[in-house]
Copies of this chain bind each other. A is one copy, B any other.
Amino acid sequence: MLDIKRLSIEEAKVLIEGATKKSEEMGIPMCIAVCDESGHLIAFDRMNGGKISSISIAIDKAFTGAVARNGTHVYNQLCQPGQPTFGIHVTNGGHFSIIGGGLPVTVDKVIVGGIGISAGTAVQDLEVAEAAVAYFHKKTGYKA
């Protein structure tokens, strides 16, 4: 039998809180998604003014970060034309995101969920995702 560690809704909201704080600091209204270790959505916030096209992108980034077990920006590099992973962006019904801003969330080196940010540039989205994960570890006391 497998024992699985999974983010609770309360913990997911800590991630959203951290992402919101960073987004407000940067002045960019973001779409923020948190999913569990199986890639299923736990919590989502579209800040006032967040782009509508970013709703599904944020959710896809959180999914990918959790289940593909890597930052979506890493897959961006791996999925460039000429690379052997090129093509992965159209898998999973188009929900495999290769745009930076999706990250796995780990506790004691185990992936317990994923976070996805969208509405800024890929670089800004990743910056917010990283800030949210750092905030999560700081506030909960969990080790990455």
Q: Measuring CB to CB, which residues of chain A are less than 8 angstroms from any residue of chain B?
A: 1-11, 36, 38-48, 51-53, 55-57, 60, 63-64, 67-69, 73, 76, 79-82, 84-94, 96-100, 107, 112, 121-123, 142
Contact = CB atoms under 8 A, between A and B. Distances in A.
A39 B54 CA distance: 12
A55 B41 contact: yes
A128 to B, nearest CB: 14
Contact of A91 (B39, B53, B82, B112): B53
A19 to B, nearest CB: 13
A36 B55 CA distance: 12
Nearest to A29: B9
Contact of A57 (B9, B52, B92, B100): B92
Contacts of A3: 3-6
28 contacts: A1-B11, A2-B8, A3-B3, A3-B5, A3-B6, A8-B48, A9-B48, A38-B38, A38-B39, A40-B46, A41-B55, A42-B45, A43-B44, A43-B46, A53-B63, A53-B68, A53-B91, A53-B96, A57-B92, A60-B91, A76-B84, A76-B86, A79-B87, A80-B82, A84-B100, A87-B97, A88-B99, A94-B94
